[in-house]
Amino acid sequence: MKTIFFTGGGSGGHVVPALTLINKLKHNNDTKIFYIGSYSGIERKLVGKINIEYKAILTGKLRRYLSFKNIVDIFKVLLATLQVMVYLIKKKNKNTLLFSTGGFVSVPPVIAASILRIPVYVHEQTSRIGLANMIASKFATKVFISFEETKRFLPPAKTIFSGYPVRDECYLENIIIDEIKGIKLKEVKKPILFVTGGGNGSDLVNRLLEKNLNILKQKFFIIHQAGIDHLAKYQKYEDSDYIAVDFVENIIDIFKLSRVVISRSGAGTVAEMIALGKPSIFIPLKIAQKNEQYHNAMAAQKILGSIVIEEDQLNNIDLLSEIDKIYKITSKKIMSNAPKATDYIIEQLLQ
C-alpha cells in the first residue's frame, strides 16, 4: 500500500495541480492519500470538496526582508514541523512519500518528512521558483518543473522537466458544458472572445475590456470573467453580445469554444493553453513574484506564438489590432502528442 501526503497552499495555483493528481490517484485502490494544509487557507476549502483526510497545521509567512514577524513565524514553523512529525509517524508506512506543490504551508511538512527519512517530491508550477519550493528543493529527492528554463535555478541531478499537470479535459476534444446564463455557446454566430483576469478578477484587465467593449462587441460575442468583487459593475453592460460572470467552473470548455482568449498568465492558465495548442493574448501580472507571469507568458509565446502585452504597454496598444494578429496565428494541433505531465508524475509517485 502506497501512502502519499500532499501539501501546498496559500493560493489556488499551488492547490489545483495537487488536486489534479489526487483525483486520478483516488482510482488506485492501493494508494492512501492525505493532505496537509493550513487552518484557513484556500487549500482547506478546495480539498474539502473531495473525500480525503485533511490535516490542518500552523503556518508562518516566509519573508525575504527583515521584520519582527519573522521571529514569530519561525516559532510557528517549528511548532508546525512538530505537528506534522507526529501526524506522519501515526499515518506513514514503509512505502510513503510527501509531495509538495509549494506555498508557505508546505515548508514544515517538507522538513518533517525529511527528518523522518520520508522521500520528498516537489513540483514547481511557475517558470521562476518560489521561496518555499527553493527551500523544499534542498530536502527533495526529486523536483518536477513545468518549464524547461527553470532547470537553471535547481540542482540538475534531482530536477525533472515534467510539465504542468493539467486536467485531462485539455487532451479531449469533446465539450461537456457549452451553456452560460442560458446561452448555448455552440449556437452563437459570432466568434467568442473570452476575457479573464483570473478567478478573483483583475481591475486592470476589466478596465481594458470596458474601454474597448463597444468596438469589440461589433465583432465578437464576449464572455467576461469579471471576478466576484467586480461583477455588479459589469452586469449593467450585458446584452446579446456580452455577458459577465463572477467565476467560470468549466473554464477548459470555454477556452476550447473561444476563438480568442485574453488573460493573465498564471502557470496553470499558460499550461492549459499550451496543452490546447491555442495562441492567446497574455497580460502578465506586473507585481507577481520574480515577474514569473511574464516568463510564463514568454514560454507560451515561444511554443505557440501567443502575444504578450505588459501592463505598462496597455495605454499604447490597439486591442482590436492585437486580436487580429491572433487570427493570423494557426492553432497548433498538439493535443494528441503533448506530454501528459499528470500521467508522468503519477507514474513517478507510484514507483
pLDDT surpasses 50 at 221 = yes
The span from the first CA to the last CA of the chain, in angstroms, equals 12
Q: Indicate the DSSP class of residue 281.
A: E
Note whether 307 and 257 are same-domain residues: yes
Measure CA 349 to chain center. Answer: 20
Decide if 334 is inside a domain.
Answer: no
Q: How far is CA 106 from CA 36, 63, 101, in A?
A: 8, 15, 7
Strand 31-38, strand 2-7: pairing? parallel
The predicted-structure confidence for 89-119, as pLDDT tens digits, reads as follows 999 999 999 999 999 999 999 999 999 999 9
Q: What is the mean pLDDT of the chain?
A: 91
- Angle of helix 107-115 relative to helix 131-139, nearest 10 degrees, comes to 10
* 74: confidence class by pLDDT, cuts 50, 70, 90: confident
pLDDT at 13: 87
19 with 111, same domain? yes
Find, among 2, 48, 54, the residue nearest to 28 by Cα: 2
Place of cell 499551488: 14
Half-sphere exposure of 192 (CA within 13 A, CB side): 20
- Give the SS3 label for residue 244: strand
- Residue 203 and residue 307 share a domain: yes
Taking the CB of residue 100, how many other CB atoms lie within 10 A of it?
Answer: 30
Q: 3-state DSSP call for residue 27? A: coil
Q: Is residue 333 part of a domain?
A: no
**DSSP tally for the chain: helices H, then strands E:** 12, 15
Alpha helices (H) in 48-130, listed in sequence order: 68-91, 107-115
Give the residue, 344 or 12, on which the prediction is more confident: 344
Evaluate whether residue 116 is within a structural domain. Answer: yes
Q: How many angstroms separate the CA atoms of 266 and 166, rounded? A: 13
Tell me the residue length of the chain: 351
What's the pTM value of the predicted model, to 2 decimals?
Answer: 0.86
Specify whether 67 is located in the same domain as 121: yes
- Measure the CA–CA gap between 96 and 350, rounded to whole angstroms: 10
- Please tell me whether residue 243 adopts helix, strand or coil conformation: strand
Cα angle 119, 275, 4 (rounded to 5 degrees) comes to: 20
CATH classification of the domain holding 217? 3.40.50.2000
Q: Is the pLDDT of residue 67 over 80?
A: no
183 & 313 share domain: yes
**Which helix (H) or strand (E) covers residue 18, if one does?**
helix 12-25
DSSP-assigned letter for residue 239: B
Looking at the fold, whether 199 and 222 belong to one and the same domain comes out as yes
The model's pLDDT over 253-312, given as tens digits with 9 standing for 90+, comes to: 999 999 999 999 999 999 999 999 898 999 999 988 789 999 999 999 998 999 999 999
Whether 45 and 179 share a structural domain = no
**Domain check: are 6 and 140 in the same one?**
yes
Is residue 83 situated within a structural domain? yes
Q: Are strands 192-196 and 221-225 parallel, antiparallel or unpaired?
A: parallel
Domain extent, residue 317, equals 174-327
φ, ψ (nearest 5 deg) of residue 187: -95, -5
Total domains present in the chain: 2
335 domain-assigned:
no
Same domain (yes/no): 26, 157: yes
Q: Transcribe 133-151 into DSSP letters.
A: HHHHHHH-SEEEESSGGGG
Whether residues 141 and 122 fall in one domain: yes
Please tell me the distance from the alpha carbon of residue 128 to that of residue 118, in angstroms, as a whole number: 26
- Going edge to edge, which strands form the sheet with 242-245? 242-245, 221-225, 192-196, 260-263, 281-282, 307-308
What is the C-alpha separation between 31 and 216, in angstroms, rounded? 50
228 in the same domain as 193: yes
Strands of 255-308 (E only): list them: 260-263, 281-282, 307-308
In angstroms, the CA 96 to CA 118 distance is 6
| 3 backbone dihedrals φ, ψ, rounded to 5° | -115, 125
Set of cell numbers at residue 101: 506543490
CA dihedral angle for residue 25, residue 19, residue 107, residue 147, rounded to 10 degrees: 100
φ/ψ bin of 350: left (φ > 0), alpha (ψ from -120 to 50), beta (otherwise)? alpha
Determine the pLDDT at residue 97: 98
Domain annotation covers residue 332 = no
Residues 181 and 290 in one domain: yes
Digit-coded pLDDT (tens) for 110-161: 999 999 999 999 999 998 898 899 999 999 999 999 999 899 999 999 999 9
